[in-house]
Structure formats: structure tokens, C-alpha cells
Structure 1
Amino acid sequence: MGNLTRMRIKTQLQLAVALIVIIMLMIIYSLYTQTSQIVIQNNNQYTEDTIRKFKLNLTQKTDEISQIMLSLGFDPFVQKFMTQNDPSLLYEMSNELDRKIISLKAGRKGFQDIVLIGTSGMRYSLNGSIDFVQRSNKEIESNKTVYVSGLEPYDYSSTSKNSMLFAQNIYSSDLGNGTDGNRIGYIAVIIDVEAMFFDDDRSKAEPGIGFYLIDRFGSVYPETNSPDITRTISALSSRHNSEQKLTDSIGGVKGAIQIQRLDQINASVLSFVPQEALLAELGSVRNRSILIVILSILLMAVPFAVITNNIVQPIQRLVRFINGIKSGSIQDLKTTIHLEGNVEMNVVAENLNGMLSEIDNLTHRLVETNTHLLEAEIEKEKAATAYLRSQINPHFLYNTLESIKGVALEAENRQIVEMTKALGKLFHYSIKGSGYVTLDQELNAVKSYVYLQLIRFEDRFDVTYHFSDEALQVSVLRMMLQPLVENAIFHGLEPKTSKGNLTIAGQIEHGHTLVLRITDDGMGVDEDTLRRIQGKLLEKPSSLSRDSQDSPDSDSIGLLNVNNRLRLAYGFQYGLTFESEAGHGTCITLTMPSHYVQPGGDIRV
């Protein structure tokens, strides 16, 4: 919210409109996402129901095939035919078997051929498919149940169709000759996969839903034009042996996939529905919704621009007018402002014009009495200063501290003695002598002050002094370090909950510059305060009035005072720098010449 208050009204209105547009687009996207999920879920349920019907149909068809093979296998005529060795009888019986099998196939789709292979060497096929069947002799003979082949191409009537072979061993049921239970051959049924399993389901399936049959060898029906797609379908089927619902890509197209096992034929069925097909209509709705939002924005742009102009322009004129008054132009007090655009701004203009007229009258009255009031204020300040000076007698305070020290000695309270001694030294140092002392003398006064603060804060911080012997002999301004050390203790170390460290150091750098540093690891200041203090330090030196002590920057008065003294004494190339980081501490650096000439020719070293 703080950043918004610093923005122009026009910018805020534009941000509000942009936010509304973003929220509307997010709502559209959210509705699109939720609707997409519902569509996909419904499609998954529909696909699951379709696969369930497909599996039920497949079970019925495989049961029908098994029933045909079983009925033929136990038919006495068929068993007699399979054990017959007389060629003439076989020929006659084959004609009868043709009629029986043709009658059996009548009305049933997908039956391409029925083949009988006997152990006695008998071979029978209605459509000449004996060689096609005998390729699987070993697997059929070793199978104890119904044998089901994989997908194989079967050529019949000059056309090739995807087929599957069902076969079952036949055992003798003749109890009369003692051959009951002996294997006498097998019966095989060749079926057209499309006509048998897919014809009904394809006619009822929803457009876009693809069903693929994958046999145990990875062959896919219906065949695809791309070998990569076939391999992808086979790989998906082999990786997911149980019932699965997933999202994957086939041929670079992402879609919803369901895989289920078909145990009756030792294969799997895979359904694939492209998401693009599922969400095509939703995408159209989404695009139309976005188009409506864009058109709405375009239609609202003109009235929005007019409304914004009616609000912003009067405010801009008002700001320019007030800035003219702020710059000190008395002529602006005599002029009137007219703000058009809305009722509220008209009311503001009327009230402002009335206020300016009243201010103009008051200004003339104040100008007439200003001189008299200024002279009276000067006299009052002089009297107040004299009164305050009469209230404080430095020698009296110093003698009083000596008396307190004497009482403490008699009471044998060494801490009070040391505290009064240190305070006496500090007070005596601050009021005696010239404005310049050696850095060694200044440091002794600082140590007395730090000693008092260590007693007050009960050793909550450690103090380290690092000064070169050469630096200690340099002449510096009196009471220059104490305000800075006080600032470090009270604003840096006192608020800190853990024990702190204070380092006071000084040395001569570059052969002619004395550099002093007061460093603490206390609370530091935030970036805004740091920028404000650094800006103050760069301003021209000025006196600090009592009003400035009540300002937000009153905590930095000691810093500004020392900085002004240094710059006035040594020049603007010297002074104080302030570096700080919130939570990590503060470093104050003072620079001044190690040799300088005072007014009058007195050289200070």
C-alpha cells in the first residue's frame, strides 16, 4: 500500500484496470481447467464403460467359438470322420461335414474357416486353410486348453485380413472300442478379428475414440501407418500389465489412455482419446471468452480515458498551482483557480480560492507586524540565554562532584568514587582549556565516559582501542569523539539483546590524513534512515536550533554537529562518513589533516 500512495492517480487507475483484466483471465482459465477435468473424467468413464462392453462382447464371442469347437469335437460323426482311414468313405463323409459346418457358420460373422487335423493323417478345411493352421501344430498339440494365436494375416479370396487362430485338441469319446480318452487330433477355427470383435463396437463408438488390440507378441490391430506409433502402443501395453489409466503421447499426440487385459485371448485392449479432440469445443469457448474480454476492454477504453482525464487533469492543475504557491510567489495568492471535470474538484477550487483570499489578507497584516515581532523575539532569546547561563555554574557543579567523591570515600564506596572521579574528569575536560587538544587527551575523556556507561550497562558490551602512537600526538577538536561514542552506545548497542562490541581506532593514512573510526556491531539503521543521515551530512554546515532537536532526525544531531565542526575547521574535503546496515552494525569514519595551520599562523601537529 505504501508504494501505491507514491504513485500517480492515473497509474493507480491503470493498475486497477490491469488487475481486473488479470482476474477475469484467471477466472476464465480456472473455469476452463475445471471443465476440462470434468470432460476428461466423463470421457474416462465413458471409455471404461465402452471397454467393459467390448470385453463382454469378446467373452461372448470366445465362448461361442469354444462352444462350436466343443460341439464339433464331441460330435460322433466328426470323431468317426477324424479316425477314418478309407479314402472313399472320407470323401463321402466330407460332403456331409461340409453341410454341417456351413450350417454351423450360417448367421455368424467373422468365421473364416474351420479346420480338422487328425492324428491318422486326415486333413479337412472348408476354405483350404490347412497350411495356415499347421504352422502352429506344436503349440496346439502341447496346449491343454484352448489355444489362441497372435494376430496373423490370413489371405482369402484375394484379400488379406488380420485373423486369430483358435484351436482345441479332440479326444475320443467312443467307449465301445476302448479308445476313450485318446487324442485323435484337433479342431481349429480361423476368425476375422475386425468382423468378430470390432464391427459392433466401432459402429457405436464415439468419434475420436480409438481402440487397439495388442496380442501377446506386441502386434497391433488395427494397423497404423506409422511404425513408431505401433511401437509406442506395444510399449505402453507391455509396461502396464494390469488395468491402467494414464496420460501419454502416441505419435506425438497427447491423450487419455486406458489399458485392460483380455485374458480370454491372451491380449490387451488399449483405448486412446486425444485431448485436443476432447477439449476442442472447450478451447473454442475459452478463445471466445478471451475475445469478449478484449473487446470489452476496447469498448471501455474511451469512457475510461474520459473519466480518467476528468479526474487527473484537475488534480494536475491543482498540484501545479500549489507548487507555485509553495515556491513563494505572492502573486499566486491573488489569483484564482478554476477546476473543471467533476463536482468534487469544483468544490475544492471554491474553497481553495476562499482560503487564498484569506491568506492574502493575513499576509499583509503579518508583514506589517513582522519587524516588531522579530525584534522582540531577539531580545527574548538574549534574555533567556543569559538566564540559563546564570542557572549553571560550571565551577559549582565541579566542586559538588568533588564533595560527592569525598562522601563516597568516607563511606568506602569505591564504585561511586570512581564514577564521580570519571564524571568530574569528563566535566572538567569539557569546560576547560582551548578548543583543541591532543588525540591522547580526547581519548582519555572518551575512556572516562565509556567507563561510566560500562557500569550503567553492567558490561553488556566490550570496548577495544586501536591507536598508533603517531596518531595520539595529533591535535584535534575538543569533545569530538564523545558524541559519536555516545551515539554508538545508545542507538547501536543498548537496544541489542546480546553482548556487543565497540571498537575505537585511529591512525594516520597517506602520510597526512588522520582517520578515526568508531565501529559497533549493534542494531544499525534501515536504508531510508541511512540515506537521510548521509544526505544531511552532505549539506552545508548550519547551526542547530531548538526546533531541529524535535525533528525526526534529532538522533543524528551529534553526528551533524561533529561533521559541521570538522568541515568548518578543516575544509569541506574533510568530515564524517556514516555507514550502517540494519541488524549488523554501524561504522562512523572521521577524516582530518594530521598537520594544519590555524588562523594566525599557529601550526598544529
Structure 2
Amino acid sequence: MFTRKVKKRLTNKVFNKILIYYSATTLLTMFLLLVLLSHYYTEVIIQKEMDASTRTLERIESNLNQKREYVQEVMQELYLKQDLIYNDIAFGLQNDYSTYLSYRLDKYSESSSFVPNNLDTFFQAYFTQDSDINAVSLKSTNSGTEYTYVKNHTRWNQYVNQNQMQLENQEGLAVHPGYSKRDISNNFQITRSINDPATLDEIGKITVYYDPEGIQDLIDVRRSQFKGSVHIFQRDGEYLYSSVNSSLPESLKDIAFETNFTKAKGKENNYYINTLADEQMGYLYVGVIPEKEIKNLTIVHRYMILFTILLSCIAISVTYFVMRSYSRRINKIDAAIHEVREGNLQIRIPDSKEKDELTTISESFNDMLDDLNRYIKDVYVLNIRQREAEMKALQSQIQPHFLYNTLEAIRMKAIADGSKTTSNMIYSLGQLFRYSLSNKEIVQISDEIELVREYVSLIQVRFPNRLNVTYQIPKENLDEEILKFTLQPLVENYMIHGFRKVTNHNELIINVERKQNDIEIKVEDNGNGIPLDNLKAIKIKLLEGSTTSEGSIGLSNVHQRIQLKYGLDYGIQINSIEGEGTCVVVKIPATRRDISHV
């Protein structure tokens, strides 16, 4: 159960998925890089080892070639000593050893010099300086007589095979007295022919046996510079020398006499083989390096693995901590979304110092909630106000009917009592109520003027002969449309604030003019006027669209209704001079187009 929860948590979290994918990609990339670097480094090491092996083989070749050149120089010196080659070496190769000894004694007795000039002096003079020489052999071509000079008896005996059966198979082998017949093995041999200076016929061969320890010392000196072993073969494939005591690798038994670099497969191991063919000496120098010695885990490989693991851990750790910060911020956004889903619209995502996409999302989310709350509040308040307006509208429909019916009853009573004036006033008031009961929003100017007349007639009954109203309205403008209750509130405003009760010279002029595609209605009086401060306050309220403080429908109400209906280009303008009068201008669009301007 616990494992299932952990697995679900890992697979459901996007950042966990990203971290897993990134970690896997990083580890795979690092592993491939490690493999490539390791392969490259191994190839470099292989090339380095093969170069070192080649240099070692070249040193061995150079060492043996120096010995070959030395033997060649000795032969040149021998031919320059004609007395030695004619009188001693040639006689010794053509006779047996006892005859040669007799001949040498005779020559020594006849000679006036106390220094003998024979084979022994020749060998000692030319072959004692090189410490690698084990022995020198001089063998006749025709008689089979062989003279052997041994320089280092201790080392020489190490390479002598006492197998008599093998020696007897060798043709015409004879040795210096005091030495039994022996078979020489593992010595480097340099052989040169000795020709008769007169006839140029070969009369014998001289062979110099070099100890392989000299080559071994050379290899040991360079052991720290290369791995593997060194083997030397003769041209015919005979195995001559090995720097190790192990058995000969299977891949070297049929190796070609050529300079080459190959990789051979063995039963238990693979080998890198480097060969160097010496045409002059007839030797094939072979460097053998086991593959496992090159590909062993070196300290460089260890450091590569260590650095790869370290860099992978650092990359994954840095990614983890960075993504954990983003994950926390995403979790906060997710939690806020769940809170909103549960109905909590007051939740907010905390602000972040980082400026990135998540910050933009958080800020947009918070702004969205603010707008949503504001929208809900506006809709809620609007709904309440709409319900209140509907309620008031229902009440306004009931109250005028009630009042109108009541007024009509009172008027009939006044007629019955013979009070005509009271009856007329009640009739005018009833007409006002009847007009207000109409559901029309738009009426004609003539309807508004008739309403004004009824209202003025009531005022004139109260103040007889004190108010004179002039109507300057062309007939073509009477059927223009206007909002209901536009003019009557303006006249009522004059009667409340501008009418002078102490004089009979109260003038009210209502002028309707058409100006292009607009209608201008002026309501002008000669009343009390408006103080300057009050006038500024009224103009500000008209500009801001706020209502006035009057309990009845005032100027601001008319102005707002016109602008809501026709736009901000229309409405009311007011000008007044205290003590002289007030002029209110109503501007509305004309219903009919001005034909004169078409």
C-alpha cells in the first residue's frame, strides 16, 4: 500500500516526472561520455604502449646491428692482415687441430718476434672487449674442422645442451680441445664467410655468439616505459629469444616476417602484436602486449568514473533544489485553485520576488479573483437595486391611481358645493397625475408643454396675476420627441428657487429652436438667480453626473436621463446671475433630419 502511494505520488507530480527524466538523461549522457572518453583514453594508451614497444624493438635492432657492424669491421681488419689469413687461418681450416698446432709451433720458432700471430691472438685481440660475447667459432667449409674460442665459460655453459644424440646429427662438428661436443641455444649468432684472398673461394665461416642478457638488460632499462614482452625469431621462424619465461603465445607460432601492427585473439586473452623485420640480420623482433594489461582500470579511469559520478550528482542535486522551489510555488497555485473550487474567493497567492512566468500566473490569478469579487459585488448590488426599483415602480403605479381617484372624488364634491376654483385646481392636479401614470418614456414636446401649462395654471391660481409665461415654439417643433418629465422639473425648480412672491413682474419664457440636427429648449426667467458659489457647485454636479440634494426631481436627474438616453454630447447647461435671473438650456437630438442641410 505504501509503495503504491509513493509510486502514485511520483507519477502524478509533473516536477517529479521531469526530475526523473532529467536524471535518467543526465546519467545516460554521463555514461556515454564516460564510455567515449574511456575508449578514447584506452586508444591513446594503446597507441602509447605500441609506440613504446616500437622504440624498444628499434633499440634492440640498433644494438644488434651495431654488433653486426663490429663483426664486419673485424672481418675487414682480418683481410688487411694477409700474413695471418694466409699462414695461420687458412692452414688451420684445411688441417686438423694437431697438425695446426705443429704448424703454429714451427712458425713461432721461425719467427723473430716474441708476439705470436695466430688464431688465439686474433680472437683475444678483437673479441674480448664486448662483454656480451660468449664465444667465437671458426669453422672450415671443406674439412669440417672447427675452432671455438670461449670468452665467458660460466655463461657459455648455461646455453650448452649435453644431448649427444642431437650433436652427432650436426655435420663435421669439432671443438677446441678441452671442450666436449655441445649444442648452442638462445645465443644471437653473427656469421661471416672467410674467403681465400687469392681465389676468393670460401674456406670457412666465423660465428660470434652473443649472450641474450645484453638484450634483456636493455629491455629491463626500458621496462617502466612499456608493457608486455619481447620475442625474437629468425627468418625461418625458429624461436630465438623471449624476454619472459612464459610459454610462447599461440598467435606468434605462425607469424609473418614483416613490419606490422596487428591484434590477435588467443584462447584466454587477446594480444596487441608489433613486429619489426630486420632484413640485414634476418631477425624478426616481436613486441607482445596482452590486452588486459592495457585495459586494466588505471588511476585515470578511476578519476573519470569518480568525476562522472560527482558531476552527475551535482547536476541532479542542483536540478532537484531548483525544481523544488518551482514545485512549491506550483503547489501554492494548485492549492489556491482548489480553494477557489471550494468557494473561497478570498484566497490569494503570495507574491514572489522572482519575475518569471509563475509570478505572472500568480498575479493574473489574483487579479482575476479581484475582478471576480468586484463583478459579483456589482451584480449583487445591481440586482438588489433592480429589485428595489421594481418595487418602487409597482408602488408608483398604485399610489398615483389611488391619488387620482381620490382627487376626482374631491373635485366632484367641490362642484357639488359650488367651489369652481377648487374644482379647477383639482382637475389640473388630476391631469398631472394622469400624465405621470403613462408608461411612455418618450413623448412629444407638445405633451411636455401641455404638462407645463397644467402645472403653471395651479401656480397662477395660488398667485394670480403674478406670473406671466411666454411660449415661443414653432409648430414644426411641437411633434419632436423628448424624454418624459424634462420641462416640468425645470419650471418647478424655478418656482421653488427663483419665483419672487412680492412682485407682479415674474416672467418665464420657454423657447424651442432647431439648430441643424439638434433641438435646444431654453427655460429663461427673471427671478432671484443663483449665487456664484451655488452655481459652481451645480455645474460641477452636472459635470460629474451626481444627483442634487433636492428631495424632488432636480436638474441633475434630468441631465443624467438625457445623457443616458442620447449620449454625453447632450444634456443641460445652466447660466445665472444673482438678482437678475436664470437660463437653463436643454439640448436633445432632433427626431427629424434638417432637410435644409441634406
Interval containing the TM-score (normalised by the shorter chain): 0.3 to 0.5
User: Which has the larger Rg?
Assistant: 2
**TM norm structure 2:** 0.46
**TM norm structure 1:** 0.45
